[in-house]
A and B are shown apart, each in its own frame.
Chain A
């Protein structure tokens, strides 16, 4: 009998090869597909465990502190610590700190927009008398806005070192002496922290804040202004302010002696001494302003690289018009004025959030800004004095996968539609949620902001080493405890950045990094669904396919069985012969699959999956081949679809295979695509995707391969079963083309319902799993194209006659 079986296998080479491929596909490709789906899930899990934990786990805020945009869009802009109204006292914070499940409780209080001491810039001293006009500007990246009024002077020469001969308006000459001009004030966000807990959270050394300032000049100022408290500030090292000076240099043909004479002065006198007699001085000054320029130069100098919030570098513009650092300079210590601002009011949250100008101006303000404090110019009793204690540097500036909402160190990038990088201006009111440019102590926050200055406490839960289910439960426990105390609590572990597009009045579309909450959980959930679908469908498809294929084969074998029965074979012997043929093919496929598993380095459990599938296939073969077929001798014709109904035993399994293939491909494409789309909006998701790209593509290829092989196999077997029929068409004079078209029409009649049913099933399943409509459509389209293309190629390529 073995000889007979081998002969039959040899004589039906194509069918045998297809069946062997079918078994290998079932055993190996299904196992490989299941393994790859698991791998994909593991890669995601690993990514989340490794990168899912941000710098803290819980964000605790006062009750009702959630903004409208946060409630609606479930996202927050980075660095939105700014402009907080407080609500948590230092005592509350200390209570939170006492919780044994809390490893770190780092408070943060936004105090407002402050300025530090200002330094000067020296104007260029050319070799010839020059009329110099200047004005300071700031910029938001696109537009430039003047921050001082235009000013001017006429420079003659430096007759001896230190004696600079110039004339300028004596009334407007505040903030400048001779050619040295104090740079305009700039206001940047100051936040208060607890140096110790903040260091635990960020690994940044803030200990300089705890030292006492040692400066004679500071002491002298304090003495003169009623010994106000000193707000010690650590300035962020890497933040610069956008500051420009626009210079116009007109060389003019005038002589110093002429003007000294006009004011009865000698060369040993300072020309500005003449200003004591304004009646004589002003006409001369006006005359100088009108002297025609021999030569005019305009130049805009970018001073940003030298200027920082709370401190700056004194500069000089050389006569060859270069900006250099200057050791000799003036300072302005008037730092006791500050501003607070409202939170940005985002509108149109259902579509692109819109930010409107609140107050027109140069630059315009996007927030309600309020001025506080008393200037040194107004009083000798000032409320405080800002003093810079040093600088701190934010480490780990490489792109992070997870973010920390309310982190005060985020390097926010805001881009206009043309890619221009936008920056906060030196004036408070910018729509850009800039990071804190300086930090001070909570005591100072209490002093300036009141008794409940803290806007948020960032908590790191104790005893967590990686972000997994256990850690999630632990975080949940602490969150519940804090909720019971009346705080707003957010679990921010595994939050991730997300690009947001805003419509900013006066600028247009602006893209910013915002932060989503709880991305890890949704990533895991979507990948769990993907794995469930992949694993379930792979197994289901593989088993159903083999069952259908064997049922189909049983009908194909019917004629042979009748023949064998006619020549005297017993039914038992015929069944054994049929089964043996498939046992043999299964055995070969089993060993081939084991070899593949070995070479593909699949884990040990894959061997068990193959063995399990092998046993199921063996059972199917035994059951199917021993099943009795119904008597299909029919004498009455069908009213329609004659051939389809007549061959329904063969066509229905083929249609089923097509249906299952269709569903499998469309589900895979839609779920994968939807996962990609949902995950890729966040940086953690993007990273997870990049880790699993190869696996996803492999799974799709396996699905496509399985589907193509199975559909081809069934079509081929169906056509072979009817080859005599096609030859008869040829004999009676039908051309090969006509036979093919006739066959195609018939195929369309049963392929179309399979595909329609496939579409309906897919849409229902995907809708239940809340896959986006776009990806449902794309999944169905891809599957439809794949199925129709495969069917068309088979029908067109296979030899009917």
Chain B
């Protein structure tokens, strides 16, 4: 994944991203750190195609993400990119299983998605008796693991994680980190935004976003 000369400003005044250039190989974990409000989430949204940059390109292999039409970009995102958020973004009225199957519910029949979703939930350590519960009945750690399972439903090559451990206690944080590590080892590209240096310490590349530019911080030991 290559990012070239990415610029983004809001209302033509406040420049958030100011010429980002970065290469993100497959099977790598890249962490982006920086103070609040510096534009980490904006960068993540631009990299994933959710937000249109003012300038610059994002390539996934040979695919120019912003060269695609809106619908094609959505399709690309659905099958190739997974998202994990700090606030989980689970639908409160769907069961855990339905939430996991949600991204592909219009693409594949439910009976096809069901075993995949069950496998994923098992893999992220969700107890089987929670599968048919609403997210309200889960702990924060469980919700985040369900969100990870949902992000993996289409087996995407890239995972974008926006402060995925921000709401979790230490134990749950470690479980999520271990999950992400195993996913990286499977060849998935992890791009993670965090405040937590402990989480960032597991990455292969570490960047600091400052005044719209990415500064390579190497790897924390």
Q: What is A's interface to B at a CB cutoff of 8 Å?
A: 633-638, 642-643, 645-647, 724-725, 728, 730-738, 742
Interface size, B (range): 20 to 34
A635-B137, A637-B132, A732-B83 known; A646+B92 contact, CB < 8 A: yes
> Could you write out 25 A-B pairs with CB less than 8 Å apart?
A633-B136, A634-B134, A635-B137, A636-B132, A636-B134, A637-B98, A637-B134, A638-B93, A642-B93, A642-B94, A643-B93, A646-B92, A647-B93, A731-B77, A731-B83, A731-B85, A732-B77, A732-B83, A732-B103, A733-B76, A733-B103, A733-B154, A734-B106, A735-B74, A737-B71
User: CB-CB contacts of B48-61 with A at 8 A, as 1s and 0s?
Assistant: 10100000000000
Taking CB atoms, residues of chain B closer than 8 Å to A732 are 77-78, 83, 102-103, 150
Instruction: Verify B78–A637 contact, CB threshold 8 A.
Output: no
The complex places the Cα of A733 from the Cα of B132 at a distance, in Å, of: 24
Closest to A637 in B: B95
The complex places the Cα of A342 from the Cα of B195 at a distance, in Å, of: 108
Interface membership of B91, Cβ < 8 A: yes
Taking CB atoms, residues of chain B closer than 8 Å to A636 are 132-134, 137
The complex places the Cα of A258 from the Cα of B195 at a distance, in Å, of: 143
Instruction: Verify A733–B81 contact, CB threshold 8 A.
Output: yes
A726 to chain B, nearest CB (A): 11
B10 to chain A, nearest CB (A): 17
The complex places the Cα of A742 from the Cα of B85 at a distance, in Å, of: 23
A555 to chain B, nearest CB (A): 13
Interface membership of B70, Cβ < 8 A: yes
Interface membership of B217, Cβ < 8 A: no
B89 to chain A, nearest CB (A): 4
The complex places the Cα of A724 from the Cα of B136 at a distance, in Å, of: 16
The complex places the Cα of A724 from the Cα of B70 at a distance, in Å, of: 20
Instruction: Verify B93–A730 contact, CB threshold 8 A.
Output: no
User: CB-CB contacts of B130-173 with A at 8 A, as 1s and 0s?
Assistant: 00111011000000000000100010000000000000000000
List 11 additional A-B contacts (Cβ < 8 Å) besides A637-B94, A646-B92, A738-B74. A637-B93, A637-B95, A643-B93, A725-B91, A731-B83, A732-B83, A732-B150, A733-B76, A733-B78, A733-B154, A736-B70
Most buried by B among A724, A728, A732: A732
B143 to chain A, nearest CB (A): 12
Q: What is B's interface to A at a CB cutoff of 8 Å?
A: 48, 50, 70-71, 74-79, 81, 83, 85, 89, 91-95, 98, 102-103, 106, 132-134, 136-137, 150, 154
Instruction: Verify B50–A731 contact, CB threshold 8 A.
Output: yes
Closest to A736 in B: B70
Instruction: Verify A734–B136 contact, CB threshold 8 A.
Output: no
B179 to chain A, nearest CB (A): 19
A634-B134, A635-B133, A636-B134 known; A733+B91 contact, CB < 8 A: no
Taking CB atoms, residues of chain A closer than 8 Å to B106 are 734, 738, 742
Closest to B90 in A: A728
Taking CB atoms, residues of chain A closer than 8 Å to B81 are 733
Taking CB atoms, residues of chain A closer than 8 Å to B102 are 732
Taking CB atoms, residues of chain B closer than 8 Å to A635 are 133-134, 136-137
B96 to chain A, nearest CB (A): 9
Taking CB atoms, residues of chain A closer than 8 Å to B134 are 634-637
B27 to chain A, nearest CB (A): 22
The complex places the Cα of A734 from the Cα of B77 at a distance, in Å, of: 8
Taking CB atoms, residues of chain B closer than 8 Å to A735 are 70-71, 74-75
Taking CB atoms, residues of chain A closer than 8 Å to B154 are 733
Taking CB atoms, residues of chain A closer than 8 Å to B48 are 731
Taking CB atoms, residues of chain B closer than 8 Å to A736 are 70, 74
Instruction: Verify A637–B150 contact, CB threshold 8 A.
Output: no
Closest to A741 in B: B106
Taking CB atoms, residues of chain A closer than 8 Å to B93 are 637-638, 642-643, 645-647
Taking CB atoms, residues of chain A closer than 8 Å to B83 are 731-732
The complex places the Cα of A735 from the Cα of B70 at a distance, in Å, of: 7
Instruction: Verify A733–B75 contact, CB threshold 8 A.
Output: yes
Taking CB atoms, residues of chain B closer than 8 Å to A731 are 48, 50, 77, 83, 85, 89
Instruction: Verify A634–B136 contact, CB threshold 8 A.
Output: yes
The complex places the Cα of A731 from the Cα of B74 at a distance, in Å, of: 8
A637-B95, A724-B89 known; A730+B74 contact, CB < 8 A: yes
The complex places the Cα of A736 from the Cα of B150 at a distance, in Å, of: 20
Taking CB atoms, residues of chain B closer than 8 Å to A728 are 89, 91
The complex places the Cα of A642 from the Cα of B76 at a distance, in Å, of: 28
The complex places the Cα of A636 from the Cα of B78 at a distance, in Å, of: 28
The complex places the Cα of A642 from the Cα of B77 at a distance, in Å, of: 26
Taking CB atoms, residues of chain A closer than 8 Å to B150 are 732
Nearest 9 pairs of A and B residues by beta carbon? A733-B78, A635-B137, A646-B93, A735-B74, A733-B77, A637-B95, A732-B103, A642-B93, A728-B89
Taking CB atoms, residues of chain A closer than 8 Å to B71 are 735, 737
Closest to B96 in A: A637
Taking CB atoms, residues of chain B closer than 8 Å to A647 are 93
The complex places the Cα of A136 from the Cα of B77 at a distance, in Å, of: 98
The complex places the Cα of A635 from the Cα of B93 at a distance, in Å, of: 9
Instruction: Verify A733–B95 contact, CB threshold 8 A.
Output: no
Taking CB atoms, residues of chain B closer than 8 Å to A634 are 134, 136
Taking CB atoms, residues of chain A closer than 8 Å to B89 are 724, 728, 731
Taking CB atoms, residues of chain A closer than 8 Å to B77 are 731-733
Taking CB atoms, residues of chain A closer than 8 Å to B70 are 735-736
Taking CB atoms, residues of chain B closer than 8 Å to A738 are 74, 106
Taking CB atoms, residues of chain B closer than 8 Å to A734 are 74, 78, 103, 106
B134 to chain A, nearest CB (A): 5
Closest to B77 in A: A733
A513 to chain B, nearest CB (A): 67
A734 to chain B, nearest CB (A): 6
The complex places the Cα of A109 from the Cα of B95 at a distance, in Å, of: 91
The complex places the Cα of A742 from the Cα of B106 at a distance, in Å, of: 10
A697 to chain B, nearest CB (A): 44
A637-B95, A645-B93, A646-B92 known; A733+B74 contact, CB < 8 A: yes
Taking CB atoms, residues of chain B closer than 8 Å to A637 are 93-95, 98, 132-134
Taking CB atoms, residues of chain A closer than 8 Å to B75 are 733, 735
The complex places the Cα of A645 from the Cα of B85 at a distance, in Å, of: 26
The complex places the Cα of A731 from the Cα of B150 at a distance, in Å, of: 12
Taking CB atoms, residues of chain A closer than 8 Å to B137 are 635-636
The complex places the Cα of A235 from the Cα of B30 at a distance, in Å, of: 114
The complex places the Cα of A642 from the Cα of B71 at a distance, in Å, of: 27
Taking CB atoms, residues of chain B closer than 8 Å to A730 are 50, 74
Taking CB atoms, residues of chain B closer than 8 Å to A645 are 93
Taking CB atoms, residues of chain B closer than 8 Å to A642 are 93-94, 98
A731 to chain B, nearest CB (A): 5
Closest to B45 in A: A731
Most buried by A among B74, B81, B106: B74
Closest to B107 in A: A733
Taking CB atoms, residues of chain A closer than 8 Å to B74 are 730, 733-736, 738
Taking CB atoms, residues of chain B closer than 8 Å to A742 are 106
The complex places the Cα of A634 from the Cα of B92 at a distance, in Å, of: 9
The complex places the Cα of A730 from the Cα of B49 at a distance, in Å, of: 11
B175 to chain A, nearest CB (A): 22
The complex places the Cα of A638 from the Cα of B81 at a distance, in Å, of: 30
B21 to chain A, nearest CB (A): 25
The complex places the Cα of A635 from the Cα of B135 at a distance, in Å, of: 7
Closest to A732 in B: B103
Taking CB atoms, residues of chain B closer than 8 Å to A737 are 71
The complex places the Cα of A738 from the Cα of B134 at a distance, in Å, of: 24
Closest to B69 in A: A735
B36 to chain A, nearest CB (A): 18
The complex places the Cα of A732 from the Cα of B95 at a distance, in Å, of: 17
A633-B136, A634-B136 known; A733+B79 contact, CB < 8 A: yes
Closest to A725 in B: B91
B59 to chain A, nearest CB (A): 18
Most buried by B among A645, A725, A742: A725
The complex places the Cα of A281 from the Cα of B98 at a distance, in Å, of: 122
Closest to B49 in A: A733
The complex places the Cα of A637 from the Cα of B83 at a distance, in Å, of: 24
Most buried by A among B48, B79, B83, B92: B92
